[in-house]
Structure 1
């Protein structure tokens, strides 16, 4: 009964025009729905009853809400940014076949869409760009942009390719920015609509201030032929991203609660 009541409350919140506006995919124009507070209260009520533990429910509900219901990144105008970091999303299998562990994938149409967003930002303000190679390919070949640093996969001595994770890319960019004039600076993050919040958080986790650029819409048209199965459809990707966010939260909480192990 409690779960049915919660499901009804969630359906009502999802139907709210304000909530739909918050999910419009326009970083920098957040619309906090009036339904948020009501939804969290209902989540608290149901979870407390299910767990028979109000204190634990009170602690956990904000985390559930943040990871499951809030997909908007922190955003800032372009004049506050010092550089752009662009994170890839998906790819396509190698065009001519071969061993996919030793033959680079094709960048794919989703990374072309991400490159188009970077080009839009660069048309407004010239900023150095650090982009995963899939995006960097289109930035140079299609848009002819300069000041682009490609973040490449790691290739072992035997030719085996290891593609970088979101955190792996952020770590490389952080190292490169340490040598930049004026220091690390503030990153303008470009990422897939459903990935960008985690991209911003991961960039921050590597010691960089990070924001989505205000006024630019991140792409969200999924490629059913992507070489990464979890990026072929939105429902599957959201599960993938929430798992990654929960892993980040787990690591953070253990470090905070038990800093000495």
Structure 2
């Protein structure tokens, strides 16, 4: 078990890591980078020590600590200037229940205020550089009605013949975009990814998993004000959403690790 001193050391490292800034909105100084790297280093060492004490197995502790750090403590995606992007992908976050009621399985949800905030980010990017936007329908709604934006391709939910609506997952959206990009003469290209503050890392990873180069846009801060009336319970509050997202990341990592360690099954 972890002793008291280990817990205090671990807690101190966690606090330091949590205080590190989210760096998409502004470039970090050399001092910021140095302090953040030092805090991360202390945290990783304490995690390995705590797990080794618990598991009595240093090699496993080192491997598992690295995975826990990646999923639990690193929420910042790789980023690049918007000049490097061929197109944008905007991933939705939450929604609102149908305004006039009805069967939610067959009545389209309302886009909701969080997706309007994401549309605002896309609009800010487009004032700097015009490029095609593949936007999940909730965001596309605002891009068209609020901004009258051109070159917007909506990624819609799947509606069956009986009217049943299947909303796309993050991977479902990425798959749709990859399919549409296949005919592009230059290949799939490089995607600039717009997503919720706590979702964007997974959006970038998922986009990459579908064969596209993917990066967050430097200099643009992603929204993070949660909607307590969201129609998706896991997007109503931050602590609950982080558990949801980590669970999804663990599933992705599990698949990757099995494939890497046992490529032949």
CA RMSD across the alignment = 1.6
Distance 1:239 1:28 in 2: 28
Q: Could you say what secondary structure the match of 1:40 adopts?
A: helix
Specify the alignment match of 2:122 in structure 1.
Answer: 118
Change (3 A) 1:76 1:94: same
- 1:27–1:213 CA contact under 8 A, matched in 2: no
Distance 1:27 1:205, change over 3 A: farther
Residues 133 and 247 from structure 1, CA distance in 2 versus in 1: closer, same or farther, beyond 3 angstroms?
same
Conserved 8 A contact 2:111-2:138 = yes
2:9 is matched with which residue? Answer: 9
Q: TM-score, normalised by structure 1?
A: 0.95
Say if 2:14 and 2:43, in contact at 8 Å, map to a contact too.
Answer: no
Alignment of 1:87-236 (within 5 A): 87-236=91-240
Residue pairs, 1:53-92, within 5 angstroms: 53-92=57-96
CA separation of 1:25/1:5 partners in 2, compared to 1, >3 Å: closer, same or farther?
A: farther
Distance 1:3 1:255, change over 3 A: farther
* 1:19 and 1:35 in contact (8 A); partners too: no
Distance 1:57 1:14 in 2: 18
Give the secondary-structure state (helix, strand or coil) at the position aligned to 2:219: coil
Deviation at 1:180, TM superposition (A): 2.3
Question: Does 2:251 correspond to 1:252?
Answer: no
Q: Deviations 1:119-154 (Å, cap 9, x if unpaired)?
A: 000000001000000000000000111000000000
Q: 1:27 & 1:181 partners in 2: Cα distance? A: 34
Deviation at residue 25 of structure 1 after TM alignment: 5.9
Aligned to 1:241: 245
Q: TM-score, normalised by structure 2?
A: 0.94
Cα offset for 1:28?
6.4
State whether residues 28 and 213 of structure 1, in contact with CA within 8 Å, keep that contact through their aligned partners in structure 2.
no
Q: Write the distance in 2 (CA, Å) between the matches of 1:81 and 1:101.
A: 36
Cα offset, 1:178, TM superposition: 1.2
Q: 1:145 to 1:70 in 2, by over 3 A?
A: same
Q: Count residues with an aligned counterpart.
A: 260
User: Which runs of no fewer than 5 residues in structure 1 stay unpaired?
Assistant: none
Q: CA deviation at 1:14?
A: 4.0
Q: Distance in 2 between matches of 1:220 and 1:203?
A: 21
C-alpha change, 1:39 and 1:27, in structure 2 (3 Å) is: same
Please say if residues 170 and 206 of structure 1, whose CA atoms lie closer than 8 Å, have aligned partners that are also in contact: yes
